[in-house]
Amino acid sequence: MSLWLFRAGRKGEYENKFLTDGRVYLTWDDFDVDLRTIDTQEDLYKVLMEKYDLEKKKTAINWASQIWPIAHKMKIGDWVVLPSKINRTLHFGKITGEYVFDKSLGSPYYHYREVDWFAIDIPRDRFDQDILYSLGAFMTVCRIHKNNAEKRIKQMAENDWNVKPRTGRQLIDEIDEESKIDLEEYILDQISEWIIQKFKGYKMEELIEEILKAKGYTTYKSPEGADHGVDILASPGTLGFGSPKICVQIKTEANPIDRPTLDQLIGTMSNFGADYGLLVSWSGFKTTVIREIPKQFFKVRLWDSKIIIQEIFNNYEKLSDEIKAEIPLKRIWMLNIEE
């Protein structure tokens, strides 16, 4: 069994289609050439140079290495991992069909493989840091083989996606200097792991309250134990009499939360006279919740770990000294150059 990484668009714009259709698509814009008509990867390289009028040979070689596998290297029974851009989760599937080219589907869906998505919304926090690093290749399609990732992920699947407790700092055994790594995702994984170790359960409520205070809200936090469906009430102004009035529910379970939790928050908003609701789930949200975003856009916002971390970045200087001591960060600038 081989393990293949697929990405569903730079911002995850194709993710829902992948999951709904039960497929992985080679979302390469305007590449309307049947790969079965191309004999070798070298021939594909030449086609790309001509079709896209590429000036850099290295670009064509890189593209060919990502396009070629869907037709000529992947096999039925291989596994696919799809990192979500909507949640900080991973989706896993098994390839069940041969390569298909269908021009009638239009760009960028010409090329696909049928996939059985057998594990959806598995939290990234379940995985060791070196595996997440292996999944950080800044490519649309590639095979994952470093750090014995194929075997270890299969073992996790057999163990209900659990991994043995960490015994120390994870080391990265291999680093391919020729591979482009999504450093932003890798850094977020490290910060995410640090935060969830420091702020589990009730302490996460304290962190969210500090973020809201830094954003200018006056807050009320329910006592530990009995929250009556609400963890935090927040409203702007010195005394908290301003608008909007926000009802906050916070979850730190190991799994993404489902639709009933969202429905509960909406009911609680009415009970407390809140204008809006904020649903916070460190492990993210199942697709049943994600699909409700358009319907609840003017009432509810969803924060997962990625958004929480971004809010920490945005408001770090205004956070309390206690929180900054628990989450010691420093700003680093780097060039944003992508080929």
Q: What is the pLDDT of residue 164?
A: 53
In percent, the amount of the chain with pLDDT more than 70 equals 91
pLDDT at 338 over 60: no
pLDDT of 179 strictly over 90: no
Q: Is 219 helix (H, G, I), strand (E, B) or coil?
A: strand
As to burial, measured by CB atoms within 10 angstroms (0-12 exposed, 13-18 middle, 19+ buried), residue 138 is middle
Residues 236-242: what's their mean pLDDT? Answer: 89
| Residue at 56: amino acid letter | K
pLDDT interval class at 181 (50, 70, 90): low
Q: Does pLDDT of 69 surpass 60? A: yes
pLDDT at 177: 40
Q: What confidence tier does 65 reach under pLDDT thresholds 50, 70, 90?
A: very high
- Closest by Cα among 161, 179, 6, 180 to 78: 6
- Residue 318 pLDDT more than 70? yes
* Interatomic CA distance for residues 80 and 335, integer angstroms: 31
> Binning pLDDT at 50, 70 and 90, where does residue 337 land?
low
Compute the distance between CA of residue 140 and CA of residue 82 in angstroms, rounded to an integer: 10
Q: Who wins on pLDDT, 80 or 225? A: 80
Confidence band, pLDDT 50/70/90 cuts, at residue 99: very high
Q: What stretches of 148-201 show up as alpha helix (H) in DSSP?
A: 149-158, 183-198
Q: Decide if pLDDT at 261 tops 70.
A: yes
Q: For residues 172 and 332, which has the higher predicted lDDT (pLDDT)? A: 332
3-6/79-83 β-pairing: parallel
pLDDT of residue 226: 62
What is the DSSP annotation of 58-120? HHHHHHHHHHTHHHHT--TT-EEEEE-SSSSEEEEEEE-S--EE-GGG-TT-SEEEEEEEEEE
DSSP secondary structure letters along 109-122: -SEEEEEEEEEEEE
pLDDT above 90 as % of the chain = 66
Residue 258 to residue 208: CA distance in whole angstroms: 21
Cα 300 from Cα 213, distance rounded (Å): 19
> Does the structure show a pLDDT above 90 at 95?
yes
Place of tokens 């409520």: 205
What whole-number distance in Å separates Cα of residue 112 and Cα of residue 95?
10
pLDDT at 171 over 60: no
Q: What is the pLDDT of residue 134?
A: 80
Q: In angstroms, how far is CA 235 from the centroid of its own chain?
A: 30
- Domains of the chain by start residue, with CATH: 3-181 (3.10.590), 199-326 (3.40.1350.10)
The model's confidence at residue 115, banded by pLDDT at 50, 70 and 90, is: very high
Distance CA 249, CA 227 (A): 9
Q: Decide if pLDDT at 169 tops 80.
A: no
What band does 112 get if pLDDT is binned at 50, 70 and 90? Answer: very high
